[in-house]
Amino acid sequence: MSRGCFMYFAYGSNLLKERLQLKNPSAVFHSIGKIKDYRLNFGLPADITNCAWHGGVATIQECDGEEVWGIVWTLDHDNLSTLDQQEQVHDGLYSPLEVKVERDEGPLLCRTYKMNNFRHCEPSPQYKKVVCLGAQQNGLPQNYLQKLLALKTNDYSGTSVLDQITAIEK
């Protein structure tokens, strides 16, 4: 039995519904929104040399005048622990924080995550593809999608989490 819901602002691979629902099946699209005075960046925590995506993953960093677009998802509280697990909160890789998401319907406070000990690292083509597919799937603004499509990658060509996502779709 669910104990209520919480709002989650996704800006990276969790823009894609199929990715988010791998471990968080209760996720339901709520709205599109943006957070102000943050910018999107890609990297890994300082002491990590590799991850399941074989390249940098998304995080947000404070930056006056910038904005990050994303999706607000509604999740059952039962999925709070699985979302924290996915974001590796208990391993110290990401920290949860509350952000004010600007939406057409008005501002909304949401949970999101920010990488700890960030160091820049280009994303793999597979990670970039998942982020861009999620942006397209949910109708993020075209100019923001173009910015995502223009991201440089590390040219990794092996297997990744993308294979798990596409296996579900088949």
Look at phi and psi of residue 160 and say left if phi exceeds 0, alpha if psi is from -120 to 50, else beta. beta
Give the residue among 34, 69, 41 at the shortest CA–CA distance from 56.
41
Q: Which residues are catalytic?
A: 87
Cβ-based neighbours of 157, under 8 Å, separated by 6 or more: 125
Alpha-carbon separation of residue 48 from 13, 42, 119 (angstroms): 19, 13, 10
Coil, helix or strand at residue 128: helix
Radius of gyration from C-alpha coordinates of the chain: 15
Count the Cβ atoms, other than its own, within 10 Å of residue 152: 9
